[in-house]
């Protein structure tokens, strides 16, 4: 897995933890809300580090479904 994909995964995990923290806070589950927010901050910083370190990586080429199929010579001649 490349650093860019890992950074996106960290972003998604951080967003989920932030939402968990926002839901738990009003229900006065403050210890879990603060813990989720702290972990979300750490994950966000790790994601930012990975995103900026993979800034200059070349993008992986996408292979389309048509490129994988061998073409029939009779169709090419027409």
Residue 20 located in a structural domain: yes
Residue 26: what pLDDT? 92
pLDDT value at residue 58: 75
In a domain, 7, yes or no: yes
**Structural domain tally of the chain?**
1
Q: Full-prediction pTM beyond 0.75?
A: no
Cβ atoms 20, 36 nearer than 8 A: yes
- Is residue 70 one of the residues assigned to a domain? no
Q: Are 52 and 3 in contact (CB under 8 A)?
A: no
Domain assignment of residue 24, yes or no:
yes
pLDDT tens profile 30-51: 999 999 999 999 999 999 999 8
In a domain, 72, yes or no: no
Question: Which stretches of the chain score pLDDT less than 50?
Answer: none
């Amino acid at each position: 897995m490349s650093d860019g994909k890992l950074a996106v995964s960290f972003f998604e995990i951080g967003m989920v933890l932030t939402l968990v923290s926002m839901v738990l806070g009003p229900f006065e589950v403050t210890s879990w809300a603060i813990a989720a927010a702290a972990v979300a901050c750490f994950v966000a910083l790790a994601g930012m580090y990975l995103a900026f370190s993979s800034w200059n990586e070349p993008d992986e080429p996408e292979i389309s479904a048509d490129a994988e199929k061998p073409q029939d010579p009779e169709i090419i001649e027409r």
